[in-house]
């Protein structure tokens, strides 16, 4: 492409992104498409001959970009939404455009320094030691959890982990189980501890499990607590767990992928007490820090743990090793070639200031509380788990109805299905205490209480249809 062709192509891309940001609230958040429909549109042999670049672009804008759920839509409530921001999206375009290798110092000292600087911001935010502590940006929370557990295993067990036991609650995120499997632990080495009535790690059951394992000559080595469970937003009793881990010499990992950034709000800060006591902490800026995918992060109490776990010295990298102070992030994690994730984090914090992030997160926490009050005022709805870190679970259960638990489950499942089929909101179910419930995760600063009320009204319209049917 010529200079002018590249420019005009690029302008069209930017125009499309800007249009998306300014019109997404008016679009429908949900799409659907069967395999057959998608194949009809896209399936072809790799073309041997060139095509007109604008034609390809227009086809992509019309047919590809329109066929994904809009995860930053105000009525996208499910899973963990992705309310991205424009500055970071542009930062990602820059990193791809300049194709910056963010693996080693010498290839890009500025990228490495920027990761050091932003990591220091994060270490400070979470009360981790700034000099001794360290961290790394990863593709997401799953990779951060995996990176944490490899490190924990190396530091605590060395090469022999045959007797090592790992503890997590029944509300821990599935990525932790995946990571444990990747690391080669057997099922017998995992203890899934039941949670209490508030979906928190049950401390007595945990202590009993550890004591039993010790008696059997096993090696309790790692515990995974959650700061903001995916289901209910619950924060485990972090300070109490920290004490147990210290006493038992167990690695304390906290998965704060979903909820960690709540620490920026006053309410969240109270709940997060003890987070600074972790040996390692997963946080996920592409969740509640409004970054586009992919950016997760792992923080550790001592940066030397990462280096000790991941450093390899192949002959083809010897010329770019550099000196001690020049950090090669490929020595701090799994990836060698890595994209420049720190840039979007840096540019968005510089542009908006941490204060704006604090405001947005505080707004989300209050919005979830307002949603809870709204539901509690209605005789149609039952709150199953209260608003916690912007997550709330509820079900349609009008006072005085004669429906059995099974019928209520079916009704709530159908409400969710009808809402999703209408494409007007993304609101799916989860299961709590064996009940099917609707789950809202309200981490989008663009969502208003009116959006929520409209969605509840939509649910009620479907519920009434079904009750009357």
Between helix 449-468 and helix 405-422 the angle, nearest 10°, is 120
* Contact between 136 and ligand PLP per CB under 6 A: no
**What is the C-alpha end-to-end distance of the chain, expressed in Å?**
61
d(CA 261, CA 271): 11
Closest to ligand PLP by CB, 391 or 452? 391
Helices vs. strands in the chain: H and E counts, helices first? 15, 11
Measure the CA dihedral 198/200/206/209, to 10°: 70
* Site map 403..442 versus ligand PLP, x via CB under 6 A: ----------------------------------------
Sheet holding 164-169, edge to edge: 134-138, 296-300, 280-283, 251-256, 219-226, 164-169, 190-193
d(CA 286, CA 264): 16
* Contact between 220 and ligand PLP per CB under 6 A: no
d(CA 229, CA 235): 7
The window from 140-148, 157-165, 194-202, 372-380 that contacts ligand PLP (CB under 6 A) reads: 140-148
The DSSP output letter for 387 is: E
Closest to ligand PLP by CB, 171 or 418? 171
Report the residue from 72, 76, 84, 175 that binds ligand PLP according to the rule CB under 6 A.
Answer: 175
CA atoms within 13 A on the CB side of 143: 17
Report the residue from 88, 108, 142, 444 that binds ligand PLP according to the rule CB under 6 A.
Answer: 142
Closest to ligand PLP by CB, 234 or 455? 234
Measured in degrees and rounded to the nearest 5, phi and psi for residue 297 equal: -155, 140
CB 152 within 8 A of CB 146: no
Give least dist CB 177 to ligand PLP, A. 11
Q: Which residue has the tokens 């620490």?
A: 263
The window from 137-145, 191-199, 266-274, 313-321 that contacts ligand PLP (CB under 6 A) reads: 137-145
225 strand-pairing partners:
254
Closest to ligand PLP by CB, 116 or 254? 254
Measured in degrees and rounded to the nearest 5, phi and psi for residue 73 equal: -70, 145
d(CA 311, CA 151): 12
Alpha helices in 28-173 (DSSP H): 35-42, 53-59, 86-98, 109-125, 141-157
d(CA 138, CA 151): 14
Between strands 429-432 and 435-441, the pairing is: antiparallel
Report the residue from 72, 85, 226, 265 that binds ligand PLP according to the rule CB under 6 A.
Answer: 226
Report the residue from 30, 70, 71, 80 that binds ligand PLP according to the rule CB under 6 A.
Answer: 80
Give least dist CB 180 to ligand PLP, A. 13
Closest to ligand PLP by CB, 284 or 409? 284
Tokens of 82: 């992705």
Q: How far is residue 322 from each of residues 111, 119, 183, 334, measured CA to CA in Å?
A: 15, 20, 31, 19
Closest to ligand PLP by CB, 232 or 371? 232
Closest to ligand PLP by CB, 258 or 290? 258
Sequence-distant (6+) residues with CB within 8 A of 457 are none
* Contact between 140 and ligand PLP per CB under 6 A: yes
Closest to ligand PLP by CB, 138 or 328? 138
Give least dist CB 252 to ligand PLP, A. 16
* Site map 235..274 versus ligand PLP, x via CB under 6 A: --------------------x-xx----------------
Report the residue from 141, 220, 237, 386 that binds ligand PLP according to the rule CB under 6 A.
Answer: 141
Closest to ligand PLP by CB, 220 or 233? 233
Closest to ligand PLP by CB, 226 or 418? 226
Give least dist CB 361 to ligand PLP, A. 16
The DSSP output letter for 187 is: G
d(CA 302, CA 155): 11
Q: Which of residues 356-395 bind ligand PLP (CB under 6 A)?
A: none
* Site map 272..311 versus ligand PLP, x via CB under 6 A: ------------x-----------x---------------
Give least dist CB 118 to ligand PLP, A. 18
The window from 138-146, 320-328, 408-416, 425-433 that contacts ligand PLP (CB under 6 A) reads: 138-146
Closest to ligand PLP by CB, 297 or 327? 297
> What is the contact surface with ligand PLP in residues (CB under 6 A)?
80, 140-142, 173, 175, 226, 230, 255, 257-258, 284, 296
């Amino acid at each position: 492409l010529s200079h002018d062709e590249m420019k005009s192509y690029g302008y069209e891309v930017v125009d499309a992104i800007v249009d998306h940001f300014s019109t997404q609230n008016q679009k429908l958040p949900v799409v659907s498409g069967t395999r057959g429909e998608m194949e009809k549109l896209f399936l072809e042999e790799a073309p041997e001959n060139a095509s007109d670049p604008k034609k390809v672009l227009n086809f992509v804008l019309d047919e590809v970009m329109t066929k994904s759920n809009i995860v930053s839509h105000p009525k996208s409530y499910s899973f963990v939404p992705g309310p991205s921001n424009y500055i970071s999206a542009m930062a990602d375009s820059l990193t791809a455009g300049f194709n910056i290798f963010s693996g080693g110092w010498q290839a890009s000292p500025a990228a490495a320094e920027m990761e050091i600087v932003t990591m220091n911001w994060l270490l400070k935010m979470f009360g981790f030691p700034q000099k001794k502590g360290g961290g790394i940006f990863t593709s997401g929370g799953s990779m951060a959890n995996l990176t944490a557990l490899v490190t924990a295993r190396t530091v605590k067990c060395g090469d022999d982990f045959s007797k090592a036991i790992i503890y997590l609650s029944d509300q821990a995120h599935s990525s932790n189980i995946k990571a444990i499997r990747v690391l080669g632990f057997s099922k017998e080495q995992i203890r899934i501890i039941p949670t209490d009535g508030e979906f928190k790690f049950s401390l007595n059951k945990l202590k009993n499990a550890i004591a039993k394992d010790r008696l059997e000559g096993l090696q309790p080595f790692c515990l995974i607590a959650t700061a903001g469970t995916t289901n209910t937003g619950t924060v485990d009793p972090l300070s109490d767990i920290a004490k147990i881990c210290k006493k038992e010499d167990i690695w304390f990992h906290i998965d704060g992928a979903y909820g960690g950034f709540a620490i920026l709000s006053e309410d969240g800060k109270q709940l997060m007490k003890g987070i600074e006591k972790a040996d390692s902490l997963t946080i996920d800026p592409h969740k509640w820090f409004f970054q586009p995918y992919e950016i997760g992060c792992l923080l550790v109490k001592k940066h030397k743990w990462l280096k000790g776990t991941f450093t390899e010295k192949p002959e083809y990298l010897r010329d770019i090793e550099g000196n001690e102070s020049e950090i090669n992030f490929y020595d701090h994690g799994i990836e060698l070639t890595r994209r420049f994730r720190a840039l979007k984090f840096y540019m968005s914090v510089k542009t908006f200031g941490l204060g704006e992030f604090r405001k947005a997160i505080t707004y989300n926490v209050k919005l979830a509380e307002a949603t809870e009050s709204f539901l509690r005022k209605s005789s149609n709805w039952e709150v199953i788990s209260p608003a916690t870190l912007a997550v709330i679970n509820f079900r349609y259960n009008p006072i005085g109805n004669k429906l059995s638990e099974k019928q209520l489950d079916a009704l709530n499942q159908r409400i969710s299905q009808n809402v999703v089929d209408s494409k007007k909101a993304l609101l799916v179910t989860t299961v709590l205490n064996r009940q099917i419930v609707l789950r809202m995760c309200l981490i989008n600063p663009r969502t208003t209480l009116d959006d929520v009320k409209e969605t509840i009204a939509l649910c009620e319209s479907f519920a009434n249809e079904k009750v009357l049917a």
